Chain A
Amino acid sequence: MNLPFSSDTAPATFLIGGAGAGKTELALNLSVFKASRYGGSTLIDLDIVNPFFRVRKLRDEIEALGVKVICPGDRVVAGDIPALPPAAWGALETPGQAVVCDIGGGEPGLRPLGRMKELAAARDANVFFVINPFRPGFTSPAELAESFRHMCGLSAMQVTHLVANPNLSGETSVELFREGLVTVQEFAAKIGLPLTFAVVASELAGKLGIAAEVLPGFYSSGDLNVFVLERYWSVPWHFGVVR
């Protein structure tokens, strides 16, 4: 299907939202998707918050899929200092380059975006606000409105699209996905921004009746555009059954 957002004219995409919204997994997938569509893409790791689960950890795996990863230099790559990679500016200033920026979650994670504001405006960038309505502070349209207003102010960016990512990690059922989606749809209607697509884990796609042949990829589910993810995080403790 056609992309549900104007990626060809605005190939730079910023992902913002609360911690746990699913931005990093989405950023990995979007950059891989763009790499296959445009013959290459750049993924910028601007996460100055999360010490472990960030793009740079999967650098080799993602670069093997045609994505150039820009992250802090080797000497500080495993650190927790707010170092932004200078190459990020170069990537964003290069016309036509397909770029995805992953931002750290929550309030401190958004602050680096202030320095990107002018560049983003010059690129006519897509700014996605990613929402998981099962995270504290995002569970109702009213909570969402408050968090959205606060985070937009901190990021200094104009959000262009909403993205729904309703999930409880491995416990996401079809019913739970639909329940969360309604919350985000109500919020979208309330603030008048388009709910551009919903994120669906590959294991849920079949249960929703989506025949996702190529991952990651955009598909339709009734009136809803969905982006079906490949899971790039695979960690040993996820296999261990708890309780």
Chain B
Amino acid sequence: MAKVLMKGNEAIGEAAVLAGCRYYFGYPITPQSELPAYLAKRLPEVDGVFVQAESEVAAINMVYGAGSAGARVMTSSSSPGISLKQEGISYIAGAEVPCLIVNVMRGGPGLGNIAPAQSDYWQSTRGGGHGDYRTIVLAPNSVQEMADMTITGFDLSDRFRNPVLLLSDGVLGQMMEPVNLPEPNDYDINSKKWALGYRGNDKNERNLCSSIFLDNDELEEHNWHLYQKYQVITDLFSKGEYKDFAVEEHLCDDAEIILVGYGIISRILKTVVEKCRKRGIKAGLIRPKVLWPFPTAVFERLAKTASQFLVVEMSCGQMVEDVKLSVDGKKPVFFFGRTGGTVPSDFEILNEVDKLVRPD
């Protein structure tokens, strides 16, 4: 396909269709509404179903239903709407139903505002709702990656029977960039042997997707089963086949100060690194592309060579906790954040770097 100019929100929509997603349930909220608007038009063209539900709670439960039936299904929202979906996400994780959930983050807490933010990191990486569960969290930093990670997200969610969260922000959702879209995927809705309605079962038993385990022992067994699944996922992302996908390093080998940021911030940090290098400051960048499981190993390794870390977020400091856990006290970890919808400039971050490397 030839390159086209797309908004991040639209690119997710088209990529979802190309990944074989035929079901979308959601409710509008700025700054992600172009995504449901795109799919409202696009899904009927491929015999898909688009439903604007009466609420976010209704939408996520429709996702639960369609995912249980074996369909590739998604929902999307922005921060307050994702909060509303948390009960359903917990049920979906408990029942091990695959789906893609997109959060185009805006400012919070509460109603906040419609400007870009990264203050849902904790909510995204700690499960978000009740109970012991995790969602795989992907963090794109361009319109191209909004498309690519949508497709990867569906694949991961099917492979691990686990919800995948695509965590972007208002800038990525709204900005336009050229994007190369892949060829469509022939997804077969009847390919999942665990799904409701699957007819190939030897004993001709009916499948059930549920998160209810009334017996204590059964629930405990289920929780440890989930825990072990999360361990497998963590291993695959830290040292297995997704190791390189999970993190991007830039000029870290000889870096004295390592900047850390995800999503849109990582692009500004790349500019800061280039400017630092021109001024003789040996700076590098670690950009986590996957936020859960967190790419701990790269921090453990670089804590041996770098002198300090500076984490930059559009929040009051959330991912910085994971960086501190990974660096494990071996080197100082500093933080710089802007909130309320302000995207920090390369100049102000450079100023922070200056203060750390040239304290006098």
Contacts and interface: CB of A to CB of B under 8 A. Distances in A.
A101 B234 CA distance: 53
Given A51-B30, A53-B174, A80-B114, A169 B5 contact: yes
A207 interface: no
Nearest to B265: A237
B114 A243 contact: no
B282 interface: no
B96 interface: no
Given A236-B268, A236-B343, A139 B174 contact: no
B115 A52 contact: yes
A114 interface: no
B161 interface: no
B4 A139 contact: yes
A168 interface: yes
Interface residues of B, number: 39
B79 to A, nearest CB: 13
A242 B141 contact: yes
Contact of A168 (B14, B30, B178, B264): B178
Interface in A194-223: none
**Chain A contact patch, size range:** 20 to 34
Interface in B113-154: 113-116, 141-142, 144
Interface SS of chain B: mixed
A136 interface: yes
A182 to B, nearest CB: 14
Contacts of A40: none
Nearest to B31: A51
Contact of B176 (A20, A51, A237, A243): A20
A19 B35 CA distance: 13
B171 interface: yes
B310 interface: no
The 9 closest A-B pairs by CB, nearest first: A240-B267, A240-B270, A168-B178, A239-B271, A80-B30, A237-B267, A242-B142, A236-B268, A134-B5
Interface of A: 19-20, 50-53, 78-80, 106, 108, 132, 134-136, 139, 167-171, 235-237, 239-243
